[in-house]
Chain A
Amino acid sequence: MNPTPAIEIAGLTKSYGDVHVLQGVDLTIEKGNIFALLGSNGAGKTTTVKILTTLLKADGGTATVNGFDVATQADDVRGSISLTGQFAAVDEILTARENLILIAKLRRQKNPGAIADELLARFSLTEAGNRKVATYSGGMRRRVDIAMSLIGNPSVIFLDEPTTGLDPEARLEVWQTVKELADGGTTVLLTTQYLEEAEQLADRIAILHEGRIIANGTLADLKAMFPPAKKEYVEKQPSLEDIFLAITSKSNGKPASTTTVKES
């Protein structure tokens, strides 16, 4: 009765010389979930994503995406996914619209221009859409990047550290975007080193540590694994993030508003 999981990984291993990056990763991700793979730098998150997106071959173990084996059915896997890598993979010399059209053409979509215009509108980029991406802020680049990943309606989207290097405002923009993705029924595998990001976005969270999954469950599950919360009374100070957002927000404490498009 169980439908095919979006992603199924069993005993995945990968080494670079003497460095054993993945030492037997097991993971199942159901369809329609936002799944966060949490881990510190060097934990193997990007390696896992690269194997799942057919950019890298595993040394051992198996992995399927959308029911297709990443090693033997790489083409079918590529037809089912899209990758938003660690750095915004956007062509800076082209405009946002041209970037979107490029991907739509490569994915053999009808009406690439219409698809581009629709996505520009959805990501509040219509006005900036005909400017070179080189003139964009980090948050806008990421939005273009994610918009490019949606073309062709892939059933699984990989977001590898989508907010690393972004300022807090841009990070909130990206979070908003990711939440909207999941509403559309897409499976999202998100890697992050920020606990808060996993907490904000994910239905389920797995912790990857030294090449193994050491915890896996909902936020509530993970919380239950630890000793019960201690009650302490502490004066609630605004965090630096609260202060930063209060001062810089141009939209009255609604920092994630998509109208905060930077002009340069």
Chain B
Amino acid sequence: MNTRFFGDTAILTGRSLRHIGRSPDTIVTTAITPIAMMLLFVYVFGGAIDTGSTENYVSYQLPGILLITIASGIAYTAYRLFQDKNGGMFDRFQSMPIARSAVLWGHVLTSVVANMISLVVVVLVALLMGFRTGASVLDWLAVIGILALFTLALTWLAVIPGLTAGTVEGASAFSYPLIFLPFLSSAFVPTDTMPAPVQAFAEHQPVTSIVDSIRAIFAGQDPGNEVWIALAWCVGLLVVAYVLATAAYRRRFA
């Protein structure tokens, strides 16, 4: 079963990666909203925002924009899953002698790859806009690791509506609140200017700790405890989403 699992996952990942290659517009659409937001924040609001830090605003807001990119990218995972479920491909795969979980893993790994490409596009635009970092290779690997873990967690979250939604719109609508989450965090403004209840929420949701960690790493500072809180959020979210997603999968395919 295990040898089948890896082989089948590789074959099915290859299949959905080919989808991405055939319709690169999914990468563009994923990157375009966060890029537009970045332009808006940097060139419209940025001048009026006092972040209390010495780094330029492009660099300040980039971590939040990266999380928004991931949140909008996983909507496509839900969409692709929904299409497979509704188009009958799932039934076809499930009635074949293959490792059943490979069908989900193929989509999940494709989501991670597609999101990484979108993130690269956004970072390149940020570089053009003046984002600078003294991060070492090791620092970059840490940032990539955190972002990959966050992508993986949100992807498994996206699997749930992909499997259970009744309509295409329903399958991707869940990502809107996720895209909004960075606004209620330290991503664009320091949390200490917010009213107490909002601040309490902002400081106790995953985005703030992830944003603060990545921001510190890019600035060449020690993120301290924040990075462990960020990782704990990601792993916790991943475990919960994975359990719920596989339960939904089993319910759908008894």
Is A34 engaged at the interface, CB distance under 8 Å to the other chain?
Answer: no
Is A98 within 8 A of B253, CB to CB?
A: no
**Interface window among A77-85, A178-186, A227-235, A251-259:** A77-85
Q: Is the CB of A82 within 8 A of B96?
A: yes
Mark A107-136 against chain B: 1 for CB-CB distance below 8 A, else 0: 110000000000000000000000010000
Which chain A residues border B11 with CB–CB below 8 Å? 102, 105-106
**How far does the alpha carbon of A50 sit from the alpha carbon of B87 in the complex, in Å?**
15
Of B19, B95, B97, which contacts A55 at CB under 8 A?
B95
Complex contact A83–B91 (CB within 8 A): yes
Asked if residues A85 and B18 are in contact (CB atoms below 8 Å), the reply is no
A106:B254 contact, CB within 8 angstroms: no
Please state if B88 and A75 are interface contacts (CB–CB under 8 Å).
no
A203 interface residue, CB < 8 Å from B?
Answer: no
Which A residues between 53 and 105 are near B, CB-CB below 8 angstroms? 53-57, 75, 78-79, 81-83, 85-94, 98, 102-103, 105
Tell me if A148 is interfacial: C-beta within 8 Å of chain B.
yes
Interface-central residue, A57, A78, A98, by most chain B CB under 10 Å: A78
Contact partners of A75 in chain B: CB under 8 A: 97
* Known interface pairs A89-B89, A106-B11; 18 further A-B residue pairs with C-beta atoms within 8 A, sorted by A's residue number: A55-B91, A55-B95, A56-B254, A57-B254, A75-B97, A78-B97, A78-B98, A79-B97, A82-B96, A85-B92, A86-B88, A89-B88, A89-B91, A92-B87, A94-B15, A103-B96, A106-B12, A132-B22
- Alpha-carbon distance A93/B89, docked complex (angstroms): 12
B95-A106 in contact (CB<8A) = no
Q: Does B97 contact A91, Cβ atoms closer than 8 Å?
A: no
A78 touches B15 (CB 8 A): no
A82 to chain B, nearest CB (A): 7
Proximity string of chain B (85-120) to chain A, C-beta cutoff 8 Å, 1 when within and 0 when not: 001110111111110000000000000000000000
In the complex, which of the residues A50, A89, A132 contacts B92, with contact meaning CB atoms closer than 8 Å?
A89
Among residues of A, the one whose C-beta sits closest to the C-beta of B93 is A106
A-B pairs under 8 A by CB, number: 64
Q: Assess whether A93 is in contact with B254, with CB atoms less than 8 Å apart.
A: no
Inter-chain CA distance A108–B98, complex, in Å, is 10
Partner of A85, one of B15, B23, B88, B97: B88
Please pick, from B15, B94, B95, B253, the residue contacting A102 in the complex, using a CB distance under 8 A: B15
Are B18 and A107 interface neighbours, CB within 8 A? no
- Please measure, in the bound complex, the distance between the C-alpha atom of A85 and the C-alpha atom of B84, giving whole angstroms: 13
Question: Which residues 218-258 of A sit at the B interface, judged by CB distance below 8 A?
Answer: none
Q: Which residue of A lies closest to B90 (CB)?
A: A89
Chain B 19-57 interface 0/1 with A at a Cβ cutoff of 8 Å (1 = within) = 100110000000000000000000000000000000000
Nearest-Cβ distance from residue B196 to partner chain A, whole angstroms: 48
Report yes or no: B91 in contact with A106, Cβ–Cβ below 8 A: no
Q: Given known contacts A56-B254, A98-B18, is B92 in contact with A78 (CB within 8 Å)?
A: no
For B22, what are the chain A residues with a Cβ–Cβ distance below 8 Å? 93, 132
Instruction: State the Cβ distance, A29 to closest chain B Cβ, in Å.
Output: 17
B8 within 8 A of A: yes
In the complex, residue of chain B having the shortest beta-carbon distance to the beta carbon of A112? B11
B190 to chain A minimum Cβ distance, whole angstroms, is 45
Report which of B8, B88, B95 forms a contact with A78, defined as CB distance below 8 A.
Answer: B95
Q: Are the CB atoms of A54 and B15 closer together than 8 Å?
A: no
Give Cα A89 to B84, complex, Å: 9
With A85-B88, A87-B88 in contact, is A107–B96 under 8 Å at CB? yes
Complex Cα distance, B94 from A50, in Å, reads 10
Instruction: Check if A94 sits within 8 Å of B253, measured CB to CB.
Output: no
Q: Say yes or no: B95 contacts A82, CB within 8 Å.
A: yes
Could you give 9 example pairs across A and B, Cβ below 8 Å? A50-B91, A55-B254, A83-B95, A89-B87, A89-B89, A93-B23, A98-B18, A106-B8, A106-B98
Complex: A55 Cα to B11 Cα, angstroms: 21
Give the shortest distance, in Å, between A117 (CB) and chain B (any CB): 19
Digit string of B72-91 for contact with A (CB within 8 Å is 1, else 0)?
00000000000000011101
9 A-B pairs with least C-beta separation: A89-B88, A83-B95, A89-B92, A79-B97, A57-B254, A53-B95, A78-B97, A85-B88, A87-B88
Contact between chains at B87 and A87 (CB < 8 Å): yes
- Minimal beta-carbon separation of B27 from chain A (angstroms): 15
- Chain A residue nearest to B94 (CB atoms) is A55
Chain B residues, CB < 8 A from A82? 95-96
Least Cβ distance of A44 to chain B in Å?
Answer: 16
Q: Which residues of A contact B97 (CB under 8 A)?
A: 75, 78-79, 107
Known contacts A106-B11, A106-B98: does B91 contact A91 (CB below 8 Å)? no
Min C-beta distance of B89 to chain A, whole Å: 5
Contact assessment for A93 and B19 in the assembled complex, using a CB-CB cutoff below 8 Å = yes
Expressed in whole angstroms, the Cα–Cα distance for A121 and B76 within the complex equals 35
The residues of B that contact A53 with a CB separation of less than 8 Å are 91, 95
Cβ-defined contact, A106 with B96, below 8 A = yes
